[in-house]
Amino acid sequence: MAVGTQYLAEQPRPRALSVVFGAVAIAALVAAPFAVYPVLMMNVLCFALFACAFNLLIGYVGLLSFGHATFFGGAAYFTAHAVKVWGWEPLAGILLGAAGAAALGLIVGFLAIRRQGIYFAMITLALGQMFAFICLQAPFTHGEDGIQGVPRGHLLGLIDLNQPLAMYYFTLAVFLFGFFAIWRIVHSPFGNILQAIRENERRAISLGYRVDRYKLGAFVMSAALAGLAGATKAIVFQFATLTDVQWQMSGEVILMTLLGGIGTLIGPAVGAGLVIALQNYLAASDFPVTVLIGIIFVVCVLVFRRGIVGEIMALMKRKTG
């Protein structure tokens, strides 16, 4: 009995505070389309889920993938093709996209997982480039044009996703599902083993854990969730293009995650929101967006290395002792 209660109290943040914060955040997201342009918000949500999925790998396993665009953009192609060419219902198309990303994740992960650090990053980058090349050449992706004019269709045959609000709330539901899936994985028995492997891999091996399989499992989960984000984006914007599979996209998700805070649950979502908002508001101005984001990135790395959310959490921890 004492064991259980004491253990709860040892959690890094009081549970009540997290619940209140979560409720406020969800309420804000539900109200958002009445204050902000819904398409912008949907873009933010897709990238937020992508960054959270990426963070599952770097923040909780310690693996830096430089090829996550493969899963994000690959899923977008699969979903766009299924919905446009095969006439699938949008949710089924999205699930196919996520499953396809998981399959790609299994292949890339299987080849890369035995390597560590920069070698792991390089292998994922190389495989990502190969996949981008396939997407450029394969007939079903339509090269430079991409797959355009993907119909949003009716969700489960009932809800018309051409209605901006319906599309928004569907995207929000996908994001929340993905986010809570990540939260569940991190705080599961499997998540405990991931943490043990990150803290002391040799010890985990000596306890009989086949650590490569755990890492591969996390890699596939991360790929599937990144795919879920990319697939949803394809329905929202009604196209799938090369932009989403190229290495710049892999770099962008790293940037978002670093800005928001590696290894914090909501940090990557905050980072994604910041980057997308900047890109959006500066798109019309003469100031080059990439330069500004570059400057922000440098400042972030120099001044707050834990990222925005990471620094805030560290500050709160210090204050509460």
Partner 1 sequence: MVSTQPILSATGLTMEFRGFVAVNNVTIAVNEGTVHALIGPNGAGKTTVFNLLTKFLTPTRGQITFRGSDITPLKPAEVARLGLVRSFQISAVFPHLTVLDNVRIALQRPSNLATQFWRSSSALSVLDERAMALIDAVGLANYAHLPAVELSYGRKRALEIATTLALDPAMLLLDEPMAGMGHEDIGRISDLIRRIARDRTVLMVEHNLNVVADLCDRVTVLARGEILADGSYETVSADPRVREAYMGTEHD
Scanning 40-48, 207-215, 287-295, 304-312 for contacts with partner 1 by CB under 8 A, the matching segment is 207-215
- Report, in Å, the least distance between residue 39 CB and partner 1: 33
Candidates 30-38, 68-76, 171-179, 192-200: pick the segment binding partner 1 (CB under 8 A).
192-200
Task: Determine if 236 is a binding residue for partner 1 (CB under 8 A).
Answer: no
How far CA 254 is from CA of 51, 273, 275, 278, 307, in Å, comes to 8, 14, 11, 16, 12
| Separation of CA 119 from chain center | 22
Half-sphere exposure (Cβ direction) of 184: Cα atoms closer than 13 Å:
8
Residues 257 and 266: their CA atoms lie apart, in Å, by: 10
Q: CA 317 → CA 13, 20, 48, 287, distances in Å?
A: 8, 17, 25, 38
Nearer to partner 1, 100 or 191 (CB): 191
The nearer residue to partner 1, 66 or 214, going by C-beta atoms, is 214
Nearer residue to partner 1 within complex by CB, 190 or 247 = 190
Interface with partner 1, residue 88, by CB under 8 A = no
Q: How far is the CB of 297 from partner 1 (least distance, A)?
A: 28
Among 148, 192, 243, 290, binds partner 1 (CB under 8 A): 192
Binding residues with partner 1: total (CB under 8 A): 31
Which one of residues 13, 114, 210, 317 is an interface residue with partner 1 (CB under 8 A)?
210
Crossing angle, helix 38-60 and helix 164-186, to 10 degrees?
Answer: 10
27 vs 207, beta carbon nearer partner 1: 207
Work out whether 270 is an interface residue with partner 1 (CB under 8 A).
no
**H-type helices in the chain, by residue range?**
2-9, 15-31, 38-60, 69-84, 90-112, 117-137, 164-186, 189-199, 201-206, 211-237, 247-260, 267-282, 289-303, 307-320
Min dist CB 45 to partner 1, Å, is 23
Residue 208 touching partner 1 (CB under 8 A):
yes
When asked if residue 203 is in the footprint of partner 1 (CB under 8 A), the reply is yes
Among 105, 191, 227, 268, binds partner 1 (CB under 8 A): 191
> Which residues lie below 8 Å from residue 177, measured CB to CB, with a gap of 6+?
228
Q: What are phi and psi of 155, to 5 degrees?
A: -65, 120
For residues 39 and 194, the answer to whether their CB atoms sit within 8 Å is no
* Binding test (CB under 8 A) with partner 1, winner from 148, 162, 163, 200: 200
**Interface stretch with partner 1, choices 19-27, 45-53, 75-83, 185-193 (CB under 8 A):** 185-193
CB atoms within 10 A of CB 141: 23
How far apart are alpha carbons 283 and 7 in whole angstroms?
49
- The reply on whether position 189 binds partner 1 by CB under 8 A is yes
CB of 62: closest distance to partner 1 in angstroms? Answer: 13
Structure tokens at 315: 């500050």
Torsion sign across C-alpha atoms 112, 117, 118, 124: positive
- Comparing CB distances to partner 1, the nearer of 106 and 193 is 193
Q: Does 202 bind partner 1 (CB under 8 A)?
A: yes
Residue 206 found at the interface with partner 1 (CB under 8 A): yes
Q: Which of residues 1-40 bind partner 1 (CB under 8 A)?
A: 3-4, 6-7, 10
| Among positions 195, 278, 279, 280, the unique one binding partner 1 when judged by CB under 8 A | 195
DSSP string, 275-287: HHHHHHHHSSSSS
User: How far is it, in rounded angstroms, from Cα 212 to Cα 320?
Assistant: 38
Q: Which residues bind partner 1 (CB under 8 A)?
A: 3-4, 6-7, 10, 184-185, 187-193, 195-196, 199-200, 202-211, 214, 217, 221
